[in-house]
Structure 1
Amino acid sequence: MVSPRSRVIAGTVAITGLIASALAQSASSLSFEVSESAPSGIAQTVDLSFGGFGIEPSNLFAYTGQDEPNRLSITLLENLGNYTGKPPHIRLGGNTQDYMIYDGSQDEWAQITNPDEKGEGNIAWDNMLIGPRFFEAANRFPTGTPFTWGLNLAYNKDDYIDRIVDMASQIIERCDNLDIVSFEIGNEPDLYSTNGFRNGSYVSSVYSEEWHERAAAVYEQVLKPAGLPTNFFEASGTSHTSGTTFEIEQMDQSGVDAKFNGVEYLTSWNQHCYSYFVDVTQGKALTMDLIMSFDYVESQFADWVTQIEQAHETGFPYALREMGMVGPLGVANVSDTFGGALYTLNFLLWAASLNMSSVQFHMTANSFTTAWQPGTNAGSGPHVRPIYYGHAAFNEIIGPTCAAQIYQDTLSNVPSGYSEYIRAYSIYQGGSLQSITVLNSKVSNTTEAEKANVTVSVSLPTSLAGKMVHLARLTNEGTDAKFNTTWNGVSFEQDSVGTQTQVDDTDETVTVGDDGTLSFSVRDAQAVVANLESPLGEGLEPDQSACAAQAARSPGTHRSTAASSSESSSSASATSKPGSNKSSGEDGSSSSGGADSSAGSPALATMSTGALMTCLVPFVSLMTGFFLF
């Protein structure tokens, strides 16, 4: 896994970096105020599995392994679960979920092309056959992994109910190691007319009827006998909404979240979007400066912020189940660099501060925008990418408490040229300030020997004067670095299977001044977490009450062990809006090798044409089909 260009990172590297940083050219300071108690309007507590991954179904075997497990994937997911006590939430879904049907006689460690396909669509809705091995492979994810599983809505032959019930039954019966918390019925139905699954009159009201009929059948025949709740289904899995009938507000009017024959089936809204989509995003050429601009990223998701607000008006949570830095497959030397680590950490913090319930970064085996490469691609073998370190940082920041809340801070006196590249977030545990994260994404490549620093001045309450603060850094030699990232002195690149290895145990500390001022520096292309009174990752324990409340929001197949993250890593995903009055229901490796075809301020409310085109994620692939598999 370790590239020939990699080197073992000695424990002195971080110290040397700090000395060099102190001698580097300086930039002026920025300042902001942080309260000791959680401010009003702060987002809900962050679920322990919040920062997750989406795996294209046709690429499942690439990530889990075929007849032999993929140890790199499993270890990396276990690492993230060790930070919080719960594995990352996985969505197994994408365009290929709408091509798959189950065949019990298909015994290969791959999906195969259906020799007798009869379905409609640019790629037929019965194009792929999967068998028992598919579920055996999926069941290898760490015990208790929260799972959203995509079901085939496109399939429309007379036996469509039998087909979807059969698939759901196989999932529940065969994947007992996983915490199945929801089914996603259909992938991006807003594009069903374009891709030939339905005719041109396919609108959200028709989708609502099809969705409800299938949800009711799956519940009655699969979930109810298993003792699972009715609220088990996600809608709408859309790629874009502006100008369509698939905005959440309109979906609400179409009755997707209404009761069907007296029963409520919806558990969460579900949408997809990417920050940049190659050959689709208009008006902006992809550059490192562009994708590292937090202003740009926020502008691209502006319309989705409105969707979050609409979701919460319905009383149901909002999950971004498919997203990425650059879609559909990333771009080498952009999304596979250290810049991806900073992008990822910021996006997860920002998304949590907006009250998203969960985020899944989409992964395919041949993508350059995934957290790790599971096999050989473009001449390189399996390895960890910098993006993974952004996930690790986020998970260690929120910890295992089930009580973390994130607030985006308002900055002042930001140095010239930095406003679009600097963000700060305060993290509260149980309502009290625990840490402050500052990100500086201004591009500074490995060739720049001297890198600028921004001095951060945080105004804290004087009650915190004299407190020791411990700093943890997400760092590398430059934005363009592909290997040897470290997070809080940890590397995941010291062996072939992603083992967490402490390569630097330096404890960098600062003290809050008598006037409540906390000062530290953040180098260009770096992020710093300032943690009060103890090194980050120490001293936090699960809050039993908070963990039980999170688990109760979305009881999955491991619901009996989900009340405490300290007892089991299988606690169910938190997805409900606090105070929601919605009921919980009734009482009581790919054979074809490839990819998915789909691919800050809350005040942002209007989406530019470029942003809209970015989130038309599958359009190019639907027209060409060049990266479907």
Structure 2
Amino acid sequence: MLRSSCPAFVCLTVLLPLSRAQSLSLSPSPDRSGAAVSDNLDPSFAGFGIEPSNLFSFTGWNEPNEFSIQLLQNLADYSGSPPHIRIGGNTQDYMIYDADYEDFGWKKNSNSTAQGVIAADSMIIGPNYLAALDRFPKDTFITYGLNLAYEGDDYLDHIVTHSNAVVKNLQNTRLYSFEIGNEPDLYLENGMRAAPWDGKTFTTQFMERADTVYQKVLKPAGMAPTFFEPPATASTIGTTFEIAMLNSDGILDRMNGEYYVGWWNQHDYFYFIGVTPTPITLDDLMDMDQTNTQFAYWEKQVKIALDTGVPYVLREMSSIGPIGMHQVSDTFGAALWTLNFFLYTATLNISAVHMHMTDNSNASAWQPINVYGKEPFVRPQYYAHAAVAQIIGNGNGTTQIGALDVGGAGGDYTGRIRAYSAYANSALQAVILINSKQANASESNKASFTFNVNMGSANANKKIYISYLTADGADSLTGTSWNGMSFSDEDGKASVVDESIYQYSLDGNGAFSIAVRDSEAVVANIDWQLGSNKVIKVDGTTTSGSRRKNSGSPSVTGAKAAVWTAVLVSALTLATSLGAW
């Protein structure tokens, strides 16, 4: 979508009189010490999960999938580190590693003997599975899922062989952790275990495998023992697999003198087809209050986890599982949900969030191969990842996120307004403003919601720069842009579709006002255009991460700057006189 070149305040005064706009006043603390904010966000925070059976769709078979690799590299350039990738899901519990199998792909095991509705040894992978995984951008963190379900007489030999191959063969990417088993709380219903089976039994089996892998693989390689993640999922509610119960069962205790659990790992979805009893619409997804309601139980789990001193990660997440829903999870409205979810979970001090992907899912950020006769393409959700990556990279390892009180947004905007503050180097750097009230592409003269933001006298008269996450409407499947950029369906590279720089001056109190269209989000950043600053990469090099070739702070000079400043002053004066402030 091409946005008008007029400044937001011009659009505001022409299209939506301030006296009629619904509005909210926000006063984020200008200093991190006066705000309730997250810990520093890791540059790889906004990650992905890839179903193990689908790995080659994203990496390529004999030849690399350059489209996927470029899309991940974009995010690495913006944040300073590639998104953390989890290779895990149901199919990790079907896989057996065979060093003699040399194809790029997996094959059906013709000699399968294991238990399970789908047998725990039904898929064979070999060295080129890991060679393909190693194609992802340099230093990509990998959480790798090992098979817990297999329990033949040689189960320890198998997990040692597999984990040893992973440690030795991942050279370009960086092995971060091992997840032993996928969703063991479901093992009874999928035939992977027979009763009795509970969290205590799982803890015993998890610890035995972790100890064996450490003693035989990690320790000889000089790696730390706290390298493992016990996994769980939505069905942990009311079962023996809750964090407090696993802790009581001794999963955090020493075994042979070592602590093995480095992270609490849980899974969730906003909605899961065939499990969630009520239907889902795009409007439901865009009601941000529903996200808080659905995630309320996990907020408690996060607190319990952090109270143990072990970080919490959400390794499998998505708007709609298992493979999304057309015209809901693949829309621009889902991109707004994704942006909000990342920022919301950051405020809970969740250390990483991974959006799960399969090659045929309408909830995947991109389609990596030809599926159902449609060529690879980028979905709107990817643009939310790009926005979060640039927000994080903006602070170069110091970015912290705080939630702003939006309880005053009522009426038609109840549950549709979210606002967050972003801090860098202990000072307020940006605010993120989301209006998720559904407005479809077919609607003309879409309404807006006005945010009146006071960034404090310390920021008086400073410049702010506005970046838009936008599309023609909430139901748009294409045409999304972020910060003036679009990402090619051909090669995944970014191009600038809106050259305009939306720059304003804060007033003498550090305040400004902006109307955010229904079904749109903006980031207002102090002193420079988001994405134009140098981003320090994890390897110590730098990248501009910019939507433009020049890496300096952008500005508008001469007559155009004077006009924009005059418009700003007029709009602020009008807002005050109309009582909209």
What TM-score do you get using the length of structure 2 for normalisation? 0.90
Which residue number in structure 1 is paired with residue 56 of structure 2? Answer: 61
Q: Which whole-Å CA distance do the structure 2 matches of 1:531 and 1:13 have between them? A: 19
Q: Which whole-Å CA distance do the structure 2 matches of 1:443 and 1:339 have between them? A: 7
1:202-244 Cα offsets, whole Å, 9 max, x none, are 1111111111111111111111121110110011333432111
Which residue number in structure 1 is paired with residue 391 of structure 2? Answer: 397
Which residue number in structure 2 is paired with residue 551 of structure 1? Answer: none
Which residue number in structure 2 is paired with residue 558 of structure 1? Answer: none
Matched, 1:260 2:250: no
Deviation of the 1:23 alpha carbon: 4.3
Structure-2 change in CA distance of 1:465 and 1:45 (3 Å): same
Q: Which whole-Å CA distance do the structure 1 matches of 2:326 and 2:142 have between them? A: 29
Alignment of 1:528-567 (within 5 A): 528-539=522-533, 541-542=535-536, 565-566=540-541
Q: Is the contact made by 1:510 and 1:520 (CA closer than 8 Å) also made in structure 2?
A: no
Deviation of the 1:485 alpha carbon: 0.8
> 1:34 is matched by which residue type in structure 2?
P
> 2:5 is matched by which residue type in structure 1?
I
Deviation of the 1:61 alpha carbon: 0.5
Task: Pick one of 399, 403, 407 that aligns with 1:408.
Answer: 403
Q: Which has the higher contact order (CA 8 A, sep 6+)?
A: 1
Matched, 1:34 2:28: yes
Deviation of the 1:567 alpha carbon: 7.4
1:287-308 Cα offsets, whole Å, 9 max, x none, are 1110111001111111111110
Q: Is the contact made by 1:21 and 1:451 (CA closer than 8 Å) also made in structure 2?
A: no
Gaps of 5+ in 1: 1-8, 548-561, 569-629
Deviation of the 1:46 alpha carbon: 0.4
Q: Which whole-Å CA distance do the structure 2 matches of 1:180 and 1:412 have between them? A: 42
Secondary structure of the corresponding residue to residue 439 of structure 2: coil
Deviation of the 1:257 alpha carbon: 1.2
> 1:468 is matched by which residue type in structure 2?
K
Matched, 1:371 2:361: no
Which residue number in structure 2 is paired with residue 297 of structure 1? Answer: 291
Which protein has the larger Cα radius of gyration, Structure 1 or Structure 2? Answer: 2
Structure-2 change in CA distance of 1:404 and 1:322 (3 Å): same
Which residue number in structure 1 is paired with residue 236 of structure 2? Answer: 241
Which residue number in structure 2 is paired with residue 117 of structure 1? Answer: 112
Q: Is the contact made by 2:342 and 2:353 (CA closer than 8 Å) also made in structure 1?
A: yes
Alignment of 1:515-594 (within 5 A): 515-539=509-533, 541-542=535-536, 565-566=540-541
Matched, 1:132 2:127: yes
Deviation of the 1:344 alpha carbon: 1.0
Which residue number in structure 1 is paired with residue 340 of structure 2? Answer: 346
Deviation of the 1:175 alpha carbon: 1.3
Matched, 1:179 2:174: yes
Which residue number in structure 1 is paired with residue 443 of structure 2? Answer: 448
Which residue number in structure 2 is paired with residue 213 of structure 1? Answer: 208
Alignment of 1:98-497 (within 5 A): 98-282=93-277, 284-399=278-393, 401-493=396-488, 496-497=490-491
Q: Is the contact made by 1:24 and 1:453 (CA closer than 8 Å) also made in structure 2?
A: no
Which residue number in structure 2 is paired with residue 608 of structure 1? Answer: none
Structure-2 change in CA distance of 1:479 and 1:565 (3 Å): farther
Q: Which whole-Å CA distance do the structure 2 matches of 1:276 and 1:565 have between them? A: 40
Q: Which whole-Å CA distance do the structure 2 matches of 1:412 and 1:98 have between them? A: 44
Q: Which whole-Å CA distance do the structure 1 matches of 2:524 and 2:118 have between them? A: 50
Q: Which whole-Å CA distance do the structure 2 matches of 1:506 and 1:263 have between them? A: 56
Deviation of the 1:41 alpha carbon: 3.8
Q: Is the contact made by 2:285 and 2:334 (CA closer than 8 Å) also made in structure 1?
A: no
Structure-2 change in CA distance of 1:412 and 1:250 (3 Å): closer
Q: Which whole-Å CA distance do the structure 2 matches of 1:302 and 1:412 have between them? A: 17
Secondary structure of the corresponding residue to residue 236 of structure 1: coil
Matched, 1:80 2:75: yes
Task: Pick one of 5, 15, 19 that aligns with 1:15.
Answer: 5
Task: Pick one of 468, 493, 497 that aligns with 1:499.
Answer: 493
Q: Is the contact made by 2:26 and 2:404 (CA closer than 8 Å) also made in structure 1?
A: yes
> 1:384 is matched by which residue type in structure 2?
V
Q: Which whole-Å CA distance do the structure 2 matches of 1:152 and 1:490 have between them? A: 41
What TM-score do you get using the length of structure 1 for normalisation? 0.83
Secondary structure of the corresponding residue to residue 15 of structure 1: coil
Identity rate, percent: 43
Deviation of the 1:449 alpha carbon: 1.3
> 1:367 is matched by which residue type in structure 2?
S
Deviation of the 1:21 alpha carbon: 6.4
> 2:275 is matched by which residue type in structure 1?
V
Secondary structure of the corresponding residue to residue 222 of structure 1: helix
Deviation of the 1:463 alpha carbon: 2.4
> 1:186 is matched by which residue type in structure 2?
G
Q: Is the contact made by 1:190 and 1:239 (CA closer than 8 Å) also made in structure 2?
A: no
Which residue number in structure 1 is paired with residue 552 of structure 2? Answer: none
1:33-63 Cα offsets, whole Å, 9 max, x none, are 1111113542211000000000000000111
Structure-2 change in CA distance of 1:444 and 1:234 (3 Å): same
Q: Is the contact made by 1:86 and 1:565 (CA closer than 8 Å) also made in structure 2?
A: no
Deviation of the 1:326 alpha carbon: 0.7
Deviation of the 1:376 alpha carbon: 1.5
1:464-516 Cα offsets, whole Å, 9 max, x none, are 221111100000110111112110001102x5011011222211122222233
Structure-2 change in CA distance of 1:412 and 1:117 (3 Å): closer
Q: Is the contact made by 2:535 and 2:542 (CA closer than 8 Å) also made in structure 1?
A: no
Deviation of the 1:450 alpha carbon: 1.0
Q: Which whole-Å CA distance do the structure 2 matches of 1:41 and 1:24 have between them? A: 36
Alignment of 1:612-623 (within 5 A): none
Q: Which whole-Å CA distance do the structure 2 matches of 1:156 and 1:16 have between them? A: 65
Q: Is the contact made by 2:35 and 2:402 (CA closer than 8 Å) also made in structure 1?
A: no
Which residue number in structure 2 is paired with residue 89 of structure 1? Answer: 84
Q: Is the contact made by 1:427 and 1:433 (CA closer than 8 Å) also made in structure 2?
A: yes
Q: Is the contact made by 2:64 and 2:135 (CA closer than 8 Å) also made in structure 1?
A: yes
Q: CA RMSD in A?
A: 1.9
Q: Is the contact made by 2:80 and 2:535 (CA closer than 8 Å) also made in structure 1?
A: no
Is the deviation greater in 129-138 or in 380-389?
Answer: 129-138
Deviation of the 1:91 alpha carbon: 0.1
Deviation of the 1:105 alpha carbon: 2.4
Q: Is the contact made by 1:88 and 1:146 (CA closer than 8 Å) also made in structure 2?
A: yes
> 2:156 is matched by which residue type in structure 1?
I
Deviation of the 1:310 alpha carbon: 0.7
Deviation of the 1:107 alpha carbon: 2.4
Deviation of the 1:22 alpha carbon: 5.5
Q: Which whole-Å CA distance do the structure 1 matches of 2:473 and 2:337 have between them? A: 14
